[in-house]
Amino acid sequence: DSVTFTDATMSSADFFGYSGGYFAATTIQPAQAYWVKVSATGTNPQMCLRALSVLPPKGVAAGLELMEMNKLIITDKAGYAQTLYLGDETIAKAPASAYEMPPPAPVGMDVRFSSGRIAEIYPTKFDPNGVYEYPIAINNATYPITIRWEVTKQAERQIVLTDAAGQGVIGNTILDGSGRMQITNVPPSGMKNLVIKLSEGLAVPKAFALDQNYPNPFNAVTEIKYQIPENSYVILKVFNVLGQEVATLVNEKKTSGQYTVSWDASNQPSGVYFYRLTADKFIAVKKMLFIR
């Protein structure tokens, strides 16, 4: 009625299934393949499957703990999906090694924390002035990608999702409750990293705002920052002096947070342009100058 190992020195086993993305298995199903991670000093370890539903206690514990954690689900256009988990020390009892993922699959998107784990554990007691960062590596994704989150255990801390190295793709998105976002505006090389930040003091914007682009004047790329204090449908467009629309930079639902988007004007003539932000009832317009 269990999965056992013939080598008595084996100390742990972690089972991962794969279905367009890895998942921690708490049961073994017939005719399915699994990655099994073991720790042993023996020379000829063997696994014996005695039943289809029971795994070693350590493997079950890690799998059940994941069910209690906050979730981040990343899906790409090709249908590959990976769920990552974030929880505190009161939930996670298994060692960090229990959350280490198998090697990337030979095809399809691979998403994991940069540590190689499927879950990251943050401390129960925070440094009041500290920011805890957990980078996420994304490889071989087919865009657009959709990010969904289920955040139920914040412990009065703010969880923020942003992109690495200031790419300005998603800004600072506050993860609270359930939500989703789609990433379509990505650098030519794709978006390689996301970062989850936990802090006591990352403030939610108190008002809508549209900042002056920087640099200004510019040639030929500039950045535009804006912030929204609540979930809103955001439209950010660029117009020439004749009032003709030349670019749509944002046209989607956004969660509250601070955002940065880039505009590449290399296919436009030099001159004055206007950019307009519409977020629910808020509307703001600013002027910028493109000089070749």
* Structural domain containing residue 285: 209-290
Rounded CA separation 97/206 (Å):
41
Does some domain include residue 167?
Answer: yes
Rounded CA separation 57/13 (Å):
9
Q: CATH number of the domain that 237 lies in?
A: 2.60.40.1930
Rounded CA separation 196/202 (Å):
12
- 43-67 confidence digits (pLDDT tens): 555 555 554 444 445 544 566 788 8
Mean pLDDT of 226-250: 94
Pick the last residue of a domain from 63, 83, 112. 63
Q: What is the pLDDT of residue 12?
A: 44
Q: Are 191 and 136 in contact (CB under 8 A)?
A: no
pLDDT band of residue 283 (cuts 50, 70, 90) is: very high
Q: What is the DSSP letter of 99?
A: G
Asked if the model's pLDDT at residue 201 lies above 80, the reply is no
Asked if the model's pLDDT at residue 111 lies above 60, the reply is yes
Q: What is the pLDDT of residue 4?
A: 55
Asked if residue 122 and residue 41 are part of one domain, the reply reads no
Asked if residue 280 and residue 214 are part of one domain, the reply reads yes
Q: What are phi and psi of 43, to 5 degrees?
A: -100, -15
Secondary structure E strands in 31-185: 35-38, 47-49, 70-76, 81-88, 110-113, 119-122, 131-139, 145-151, 158-163, 172-174, 177-183
- 155-168 confidence digits (pLDDT tens): 557 788 888 755 55
Per-residue tokens: 223: 């950045």
Provide the β-strand partners of residue 135.
Answer: 195
Asked if residue 98 and residue 190 are part of one domain, the reply reads yes
Does some domain include residue 124?
Answer: yes
Residue in 250, 209, 211 with CA at minimum distance from that of residue 228: 209
Q: What is the pLDDT of residue 41?
A: 59
Q: Are 223 and 168 in contact (CB under 8 A)?
A: yes
**pTM of the prediction?**
0.65
pLDDT band of residue 286 (cuts 50, 70, 90) is: very high
Q: Are 271 and 241 in contact (CB under 8 A)?
A: yes
Residue in 30, 1, 27, 4 with CA at minimum distance from that of residue 15: 27
Does some domain include residue 234?
Answer: yes
Q: What is the pLDDT of residue 262?
A: 84
Asked if residue 146 and residue 100 are part of one domain, the reply reads yes
Higher pLDDT, 62 or 277: 277
Does some domain include residue 204?
Answer: no
Q: What is the pLDDT of residue 70?
A: 92
Mean pLDDT of 139-161: 82
Mean pLDDT of the chain: 82
Asked if residue 263 and residue 162 are part of one domain, the reply reads no
Asked if residue 33 and residue 111 are part of one domain, the reply reads no
pLDDT band of residue 103 (cuts 50, 70, 90) is: very high
Asked if residue 73 and residue 55 are part of one domain, the reply reads no
Does some domain include residue 220?
Answer: yes
Does some domain include residue 193?
Answer: yes
Pick the last residue of a domain from 141, 168, 199. 199
Higher pLDDT, 151 or 203: 151
Asked if residue 234 and residue 111 are part of one domain, the reply reads no
Peptide bond into 279 cis (omega under 30): no
Amino acid in the structure at residue 124: T
**Number of independent structural domains in the chain:** 3
